[in-house]
Amino acid sequence: MSLANGDLWLEAFHNGDSAVLATCYREHYKDVARAVSRVVSGSDAETVTHEVFFRLLSQPDMRGGFTGGNLGAWLKRVAYNHAVDFRRKYRNEVSLEGVAPQEADAPDAEFSTDAAALIDRFRKERLPAKWAPVFELRFIEQRPQRDAARVLGIQRTTLVYQELQIRALLRRFLLREAQ
Amino acid sequence: MKITCVFQALVDRHMAAHGSPADEARMRAHLLGCAECRAYYDRHLLLARLDPYAMAAEERMARGLALSRSKRLRPWVLAGSLVAAAGFALIAARPSNRTGEMQARGTVTHDDAPRLFIYRAEGDRLVPVVQRMARGDELVFAYRNPHGKKYVMVYGIDEGRRVYWFHPQWTNAQEDPHAVLAHPGSEPTRLLEAIRHPIEGRVLRIHASFLDRSVSVKEAERELEDHGIIKDAETVSTTLEVQ
């Protein structure tokens, strides 16, 4: 529910009612994450997102800043401002050049240059050729399992087996080898 | 030799949704000043983005805020009575390190492969579970251990990588139960309890790992996280749709 609806709900929100705040989290996590990711990315984005919700859950003063209306819009504004402050304080970046306007909807991001390079290295250095089609369909394109099996003309159980192997290789590559 | 930051273990724990809110706070504070750990975290994020079974960021972050609604360690255990299995059409999972194909069997056969049999408890009856299960099903398992391995572990993993332990049962997060003793032989052996888990995912892959060493559930989960398998185990697996 993006519109605060009634004095009772607002009172519960200000009082830190756990069910109300848990619902806020579920309903607005994506909004907050998107607002933050206009300004910072990667681990910084998740740190800021965590901080926004941590403060919402633990600080009555912060919750008191919302006095009714569109909770989603309020949270997005808070998140955006928090991300800008974070960027200035921890990354010494004062300019907002390259930061998307607050009102714009951030499109789903392509892979960053670094991520694309890692994926390419994985393909060339670690991924056996026989598993490349499964990697492209399931890991890059994120196609459903049933679709991928149909396109590749293999049984789903065979696909699952290959996925398991690819996942182990990818995990080892990204977390152990690609330092 | 490259020395890795010791806080990477906290990043691993966060990504596996095993950390506490206190762990989360320590990790977040550390990330502010450690470029190495931020880069490691970012590689984890890339892995999560690619892995079709990765836990959603929303759920993972909820764990660090103590908001998670997942209650993965709450099986309901009933002491089931032993029900004769003769005449049932048994659906057996074949070893995943062989062809990986699943097939229905009309009767019990006695070949030399380990097997896992899955049933749903309905009153006094055991009904074979075929391809799909209901979210509230109480599951009963039987196994065949022709290679005489000493221990067995039965667990399920859903697409969100939540692990549900059936045998051994894990009801207390402070404890670390070990694999159960396995009866050797080609005749099916039933594990007595009917167990229900609050399965959150839509696809549950159930595994039976037969092994000669006594592994604890926490050790097993670490090996699954690091290697995708429990090491040195013969594992049979089957996939169920959860409705």
What's the ipTM? 0.90
With beta carbons less than 8 A apart as the criterion, state whether A119 and B47 touch. no
| B32 closest CB neighbour out of A42, A90, A111 | A90
With beta carbons less than 8 A apart as the criterion, state whether B213 and B178 touch. no
Tell me the CB-side half-sphere exposure of residue A135, using CA atoms within 13 A: 19
Q: What residues in B contact A176, CB-CB < 8 Å? A: none
Q: How many Cβ pairs within 8 Å bridge chains A and B?
A: 104
Contact B61 A46 (CB under 8 A): yes
Cα A5 to Cα A16: distance, rounded to the nearest angstrom: 16
Mean pLDDT of the region A17-37: 93
Give the per-residue pLDDT at B68: 64
Tens digit of each residue's pLDDT (9 = 90 or more) over B119-153: 887 766 778 898 889 988 889 899 999 888 999 99
Q: Decide if B201 touches A, using CB distance below 8 A.
A: no
Contact A46 B41 (CB under 8 A): yes
Give the closest residue to A134 by CA, choosing from A143, A125, A121: A143
Strand partners, B143: B116, B189
Q: Is the pLDDT of residue B1 over 60?
A: no
Q: Decide if A164 touches B, using CB distance below 8 A.
A: yes
Locate A121 and state its tokens.
């290295």
pTM for the structure as a whole: 0.60
- Mean pLDDT of all residues belonging to chain B: 77
Cα B187 to Cα B166: distance, rounded to the nearest angstrom: 21
How near does any CA of chain B get to the CA of A159, in Å? Answer: 9
Q: Is the pLDDT of residue B11 over 50?
A: yes
Contact B43 A174 (CB under 8 A): yes
Contact A119 B50 (CB under 8 A): yes
Interface test with B, best of A46, A87, A119, A147 (most B CBs within 10 A): A46
Give the per-residue pLDDT at B172: 73
What single string gives the DSSP state of each residue in B8-74?
A: HHHHHHHHTT---HHHHHHHHHHHTT-HHHHHHHHHHHHHHHH-TTPPPHHHHHHHHTT-----TT-
Beta strands in chain B (DSSP E): 76-79, 91-93, 103-104, 115-122, 125-128, 132-133, 139-145, 151-158, 163-167, 180-181, 185-196, 203-211, 234-242
Q: What residues in A contact B101, CB-CB < 8 Å? A: 155, 157-158
Interface test with B, best of A43, A87, A158 (most B CBs within 10 A): A43
Judged by average pLDDT, the poorest of B58-72, B184-198, B216-230 is B58-72
Q: Grade residue B190 by pLDDT with cuts at 50, 70 and 90.
A: confident
Find the residue in B nearest to A20 (Cα). B67
Strand partners, B158: B204
Give the per-residue pLDDT at A94: 60
How near does any CA of chain A get to the CA of B41, in Å? Answer: 6
Give the per-residue pLDDT at B228: 82
